[in-house]
Copies of this chain bind each other. A is one copy, B any other.
Amino acid sequence: METTTLQRAYDVYEDRCPTRLVLDRIADKWALLILDRLDGEPVRFNHIRRDIKGISQKVLSQTLKKLERDGLVSRTVFATVPVTVEYALTPLGRTLTETVATLAHWAERNMDAVLTAQRTYDAAAELR
């Protein structure tokens, strides 16, 4: 077979190489939404939670921790009362959001085409 980039990444994962770990992070819908939300000025925990409707505090916390571990997001604690915590993109994270934005634009542009395809597919399945 011809070898594509993603496939190489996967092959390597099978040998316990970590490119795939990066892919797993990218393929997480909550992580994508959070990264996208952090594009701009630093944001506080509950602020993110309010903005990304439907995310639970648990999942938000877990995902932020993963992103911080990967060096994509920074976490800054301010010793106020009560405590204030700000999350922001690291320079590395910023390079990723540029790519992620491309995906988002694709989704916006091609949403209608996908929906039309779905309706056609479902209509054909109906006949059986």
Contacts and interface: CB of A to CB of B under 8 A. Distances in A.
A92 B110 contact: yes
A22 B99 contact: no
Copies of the protein in its oligomer: 2
Contact of A29 (B27, B103, B107, B122): B27
A37 B24 CA distance: 17
A108 B19 contact: yes
Say whether chain A's binding surface is mostly helix, strand, loop, or mixed. helix
A120 B90 CA distance: 15
Interface string A52-90: 111000000000000011111000000000000000000
Q: Which 10 A-B pairs have the closest CB atoms?
A: A71-B117, A6-B36, A27-B29, A5-B104, A22-B107, A6-B104, A69-B121, A14-B53, A70-B114, A19-B111
